[in-house]
Structure 1
Amino acid sequence: MAARFIPYTRDVEDDDPRFDHNLQTVIDKTKSFIAGSVTAGGTGRAVRDAHAKGYGLVRGQVEILAGLASEYAQGIYATPGVHDALIRFSNGSPHAGADARLGSATGLALKIFGIDGPTLLEDEPDTGTFDYATINAPIFFCNTVEHYLFIQDLFLNARAYFSQGRPGAHRFFAEFVTGKGTLDQDDWAWDEFLAFLRLARIPPVNVLLSSYWTMGAVRHGDYIAKVRITPDPHFADAVVRRAIDPASAPEVFRPALLAELRERPYAFDIQVQLCTDLERMPVEDTTVEWPEQLSPFVTVARLRLPRQDISGQDNLEKMDALSFTPWRVTAEHAPLGNIMRARKEVYRQSSIERHKLNQQPRTEPRSADEVLDPAHHRDSAGGE
């Protein structure tokens, strides 16, 4: 019997009566951290409050596949075609610095060009761009804005905790579980803490070899989904620089990425997992991995990266000037759930503050050529 996909309705999301109040507190703390990062971050520039360190800005092409089943041919995936794209690979930490100090949580932010229809960002509805902001894990360690208030504090100050050795680490863990003493024992953040531990145990690998998830749920036209960007096995098998040892040098992730893209093209599959069971595939609980036995991931597009040279300092500067947000999408792909909803204004205010402090114009590009010189291509996108 074929799986029954859950239709999207507004009531799949919960209302939080304190959402707006708590969100403003998160925004204020985010802006304060970004302002302080100019001097505290060691770069002399304001950095993002998450994914502060980028490993490279890469050109690519997204091919939306023809012949998809109707349940998957939704929104932008209903129209086959090829679109230029930019990809920012990054570390998930709110700090810059040596890779060994930042952990192995990494991100893939994707910007697709030439997408028709207004975005969900009221201040830039007609950019023609479509973003994904994904991490190398299928879960996240925070479900509500209320929890994010103390988790944000902990992560922004994680260096201070862990620099004190085991006592500092123990205090970090205890304050995570108890909400820094704000939670009743029956409400301690065990699910979030266990999700954090799972993320902390991700082994460091070349960023080309990781799969990346939207973490939270998103609309997929008439349905509810999670999206994954996962390596094409044929291209993954060809990667030479596979395991990464962050202790071997101050910079390890970026050099491995640079070397691979100089030598060979690469490709990822963009996949959609449709929800079939709201109990076992919840919208509001991002600590739960949706079982693939209930609904497999189905490839709806391919992300192809040509051979290219991204080694110049200008690549990092152009990457730094870009903004990515899970809300720069059309309504058919709206992020779902309270923690995803919070990201809309947090990402926007973070971008505004960072660009202001760095005296960078905050404009959304209309094409990949506006950002990266096409002459740096070595061959056709993703060609073998």
Structure 2
Amino acid sequence: MSTDRNPNGAAANGTSDLISRNYIKWNGPGVEKTPPGEEEDIRAVANMINKIQAAQLNHHRHCYGGTHARTQGLVKGELIVGDLPPHLAQSMFANPGKYPVVLRYSTEPGDPALDDRIPQPRGLGMKIFHVAGEMFDEGKSFDTQDIEFNSTPALDLADAKTTKEIIDLRIKYGGNQKELYQHLEARKDTLLQKARDEVRNTHIESTRMYSQTAYRFGDYVAKYCLVPSSETQKKLYDEEVDPNSHPDNILSDWLQKYYADNDAEYLWQFQLCEDLEDQPVEYAGKAWDSEKYPWQTVARIVIPKQDSFIPARKTFWEDHMRLDPWHGLKSLQPLGGANRLRKVVYPASSAFRRKMNGRPEVHITSIDQIPDGGYVTGV
């Protein structure tokens, strides 16, 4: 995991050499290699996540997701796909079109009360509506595609084994950073693990967001990112959180003030895999070199000004919804060990949350089902 950098550079999109490159096929040899013991590691992680949720339940008297528990804002917008060259006209991007989307900004750890002034990775989850194509079995009854982003390009929980080891350390020593760091410094991936505490704490609306893990992209393998592209968003990049003067909810406050007066726009870019040694799929702890493997724009996301912190939206999402990259198109299949872990851990986390809160999970099929105000009713 590297610290955030200025996200406002343009992608080298549409040049002839990008069209003619030899991209790795998603089902080619060596793309996925399941290591021994992975199933046991994944089951252990699911239990650990439930343990974290139980601890937060005891503290807050309400159960949240095991990660990304703190909602910073929720907004509705539109995804716009234009004409693309053949290597980018993949999956749901094969034809021009427009799709309603809802986006949730969050902070990564599992504590919903985590102070915004503490530097940590930020997240962005996106649900796309009315998507056509063959879906995975669990999500085949609702035509939505779930997408996840994080503000760091590499994932510290890089595979199932690493995830089990790191979460175990966080549970044991998370309340004592000095002792936690002593254990992290004994690891070979020390810099990766400590980088989450060194991220640049800036306005979320100016922050570039990454998939971190690899996904099928139609015929190919890719990672993806969201790039803030309006001039107003870009100017906010220099605005950092001041722990001495800002309140503990500054990120939510900044988002709400931004969307009260401004539209937002993102470029959705994909980075295609060409070399499995240099662009590992199974190990998500390495960012793919964007100089060698450029980001290429496939769509725009446009978000009109609105209230980004409507209580009914927040409650509906947290109590009844979940985002899961295994809910969606087979042509956007999650790849690699970190994503195989999510296939087990996410449902386990959701089931525990619903049970403890006495709230049913709701699989919505229309953006209109997400409240724009008032009270959460009829669920």
Same structural fold, with TM-score higher than 0.5 when normalized by the shorter chain: yes
Q: For residue 241 of structure 2, what is the amino acid of its counterpart?
A: I
- 1:236-255 C-alpha deviation (Å, 9 max, x unpaired): 24659932224421211000
Q: 1:158, 1:91 → 2: CA distance? A: 20
Deviates more, 1:98-107 or 1:226-235: 98-107
2:260 to 243, 254, 262: 262
Partner of 1:123: 138
1:225 to 222, 227, 238: 222
Q: 2:309, 2:216 → 1: CA distance? A: 37
Q: 1:201, 1:36 → 2: CA distance? A: 26
Q: 1:199, 1:3 → 2: CA distance? A: 34
CA displacement at 1:273 relative to structure 2: 0.5
Q: Structure 1: give runs of 5+ residues left out of the alignment.
A: 163-168, 179-188, 376-384
Aligned residues: 353
Kept in 2, the 8 Å contact 1:54–1:319? The answer is no
Q: For residue 361 of structure 2, what is the amino acid of its counterpart?
A: R
Partner of 2:25: 7
Local SS of the residue matching 1:267: strand
CA displacement at 1:19 relative to structure 2: 1.4
Once the two structures are aligned, what percentage of the paired residues are identical? 24
Q: 1:71, 1:326 → 2: CA distance? A: 22
Partner of 1:95: 111
Partner of 1:301: 299
Partner of 1:50: 67
CA displacement at 1:17 relative to structure 2: 2.2
Q: 2:79, 2:226 → 1: CA distance? A: 11
Q: 1:374, 1:201 → 2: CA distance? A: 36
RMSD (Å), alpha carbons: 2.1
Distance 1:226 1:114, change over 3 A: same
- 1:339-376 C-alpha deviation (Å, 9 max, x unpaired): 1211111011111211221122201111111113399x
Kept in 2, the 8 Å contact 1:93–1:103? The answer is no
Partner of 2:338: 339
Q: 2:52, 2:353 → 1: CA distance? A: 10
Deviates more, 1:230-239 or 1:340-349: 230-239
Residue 209 of structure 1 pairs with residue 206 of structure 2: yes
- 1:78-115 C-alpha deviation (Å, 9 max, x unpaired): 12111111111000112122424653310000100001
CA displacement at 1:23 relative to structure 2: 1.1
Q: For residue 52 of structure 2, what is the amino acid of its counterpart?
A: F
Local SS of the residue matching 2:139: coil
Q: 2:141, 2:232 → 1: CA distance? A: 35
CA displacement at 1:312 relative to structure 2: 3.3
Partner of 2:57: 38
Distance 1:315 1:201, change over 3 A: same
Kept in 1, the 8 Å contact 2:70–2:114? The answer is no
Partner of 2:6: none
Deviates more, 1:256-265 or 1:351-360: 351-360
Q: 2:327, 2:294 → 1: CA distance? A: 26
Residue 146 of structure 1 pairs with residue 161 of structure 2: yes
Partner of 2:270: 272
Local SS of the residue matching 1:31: helix
Kept in 2, the 8 Å contact 1:282–1:288? The answer is yes
Residue 20 of structure 1 pairs with residue 39 of structure 2: yes
Distance 1:229 1:33, change over 3 A: same
Distance 1:98 1:334, change over 3 A: closer
Kept in 2, the 8 Å contact 1:96–1:102? The answer is no
CA displacement at 1:235 relative to structure 2: 4.0
CA displacement at 1:177 relative to structure 2: 4.7
Q: 1:98, 1:123 → 2: CA distance? A: 32
Q: 1:310, 1:146 → 2: CA distance? A: 37
Q: 1:312, 1:6 → 2: CA distance? A: 43
Q: 1:97, 1:224 → 2: CA distance? A: 37
Distance 1:240 1:27, change over 3 A: closer
Distance 1:313 1:19, change over 3 A: same
Q: 1:102, 1:45 → 2: CA distance? A: 23
TM-score normalized by structure 2? 0.87
Kept in 2, the 8 Å contact 1:270–1:302? The answer is yes
Partner of 1:371: 370
Local SS of the residue matching 1:303: strand
Local SS of the residue matching 2:55: helix
Write the mapping of 1:124-203 to structure 2, written as runs, cut at 5 A: 124-156=139-171, 159-162=174-177, 169=178, 171-178=179-186, 189-191=187-189, 193-203=190-200
CA displacement at 1:153 relative to structure 2: 2.1
